[in-house]
C-alpha cells in the first residue's frame, strides 16, 4: 500500500503589528492569495488530503482555510499544538499517529525544511526546496501500510512547488 504526504509551510504572514504575539500573526494579502492558489494547484493535480494535521498558530489555520475551498470532500482538520515551531523529530512523531491514506501537514520553518529534507530519499530538483519558503508544498509517497512505519529517507517525491511558481504553469 502507499501513503501520501502533502507537506506545506504556512503562507506569508503579516508583521504589520509588532505587538501581535507570534502565535497570533495572521496572513498578509500575498499569503491569502498564495493559499488560494495552492488550493487550486492541489485540486488540479488531485492531491486531496483526507486529514490535515495543522499547527494551531493563526497563520497555519488561515493557510488551511485559504486552501480548503478548492478541495472536494469532507476533509478532517486536526489542530496539533505540537506542530507549532516543531522540529523534525516532533513532526515525524505527529505523522506516525496520522490516519488516512493522504495526509496534509501544515507547519513552520525552520523545522519543516529539515523535516522535508530528511523525509525524502532524493530531494526535488527545485532550488527552493532547501529554503522551503512560505507556502512551499511537497507531495511525497511512502511505500508503507500504516503511518507508524514512516521514517527518514523513505519518501519518493511526486511534486514540489512554491506559490510564485503556480502562475507560471
**Domains of the chain: residue spans and CATH:** 19-164 (3.40.50.1240)
Per-residue model confidence as pLDDT tens digits over 45-103: 999 999 999 999 999 999 999 999 999 999 999 999 999 999 999 999 999 999 999 99
Cell of 6: 502533502
Q: Does the pLDDT at position 168 exceed 80?
A: no
Torsion angle of alpha carbons 158, 162, 164, 169, nearest 10°? 0
Q: pLDDT band at 169, cuts 50/70/90? A: low
pLDDT for the residue 1: 81
In order of 58, 88, 158, the CA distances from 119 in angstroms are 26, 9, 13
The answer to whether 119 touches 146, Cβ cutoff 8 Å, is no
pTM exceeds cut of 0.85: yes
pLDDT, tens digit (0-9, with 9 covering 90-100), for 12-41: 999 888 888 989 999 999 999 999 999 999
pLDDT greater than 90 at residue 119: yes
Confidence band of 104 (pLDDT split at 50, 70, 90)? very high
* CA–CA dist 134, 66 (Å, integer): 14
Question: How far out from the chain centre does Cα 26 lie?
Answer: 17
Amino acid at each position: 500500500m502507499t501513503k501520501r504526504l502533502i507537506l506545506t509551510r504556512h503562507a506569508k504572514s503579516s508583521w504589520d503589528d509588532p505587538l501581535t504575539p507570534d502565535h497570533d500573526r495572521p496572513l498578509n494579502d500575498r499569503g491569502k492569495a498564495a493559499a488560494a492558489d495552492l488550493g487550486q494547484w492541489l485540486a488540479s493535480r488531485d492531491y486531496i488530503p483526507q486529514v490535515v494535521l495543522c499547527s494551531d498558530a493563526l497563520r497555519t489555520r488561515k493557510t488551511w482555510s485559504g486552501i480548503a475551498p478548492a478541495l472536494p470532500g469532507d476533509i478532517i482538520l486536526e489542530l496539533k499544538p505540537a506542530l507549532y515551531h516543531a522540529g523534525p523529530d516532533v513532526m515525524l512523531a505527529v505523522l506516525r499517529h496520522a490516519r488516512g491514506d493522504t495526509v496534509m501537514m501544515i507547519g513552520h520553518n525552520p523545522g519543516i525544511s529539515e523535516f522535508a529534507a530528511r523525509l525524502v530519499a532524493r530531494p526535488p530538483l527545485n532550488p527552493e526546496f532547501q529554503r522551503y519558503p512560505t507556502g512551499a508544498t511537497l507531495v511525497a509517497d511512502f511505500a508503507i501500510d500504516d503511518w507508524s512505519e514512516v521514517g527518514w529517507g523513505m519518501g519518493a517525491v511526486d511534486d514540489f512547488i512554491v506559490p510564485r511558481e503556480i502562475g507560471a504553469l
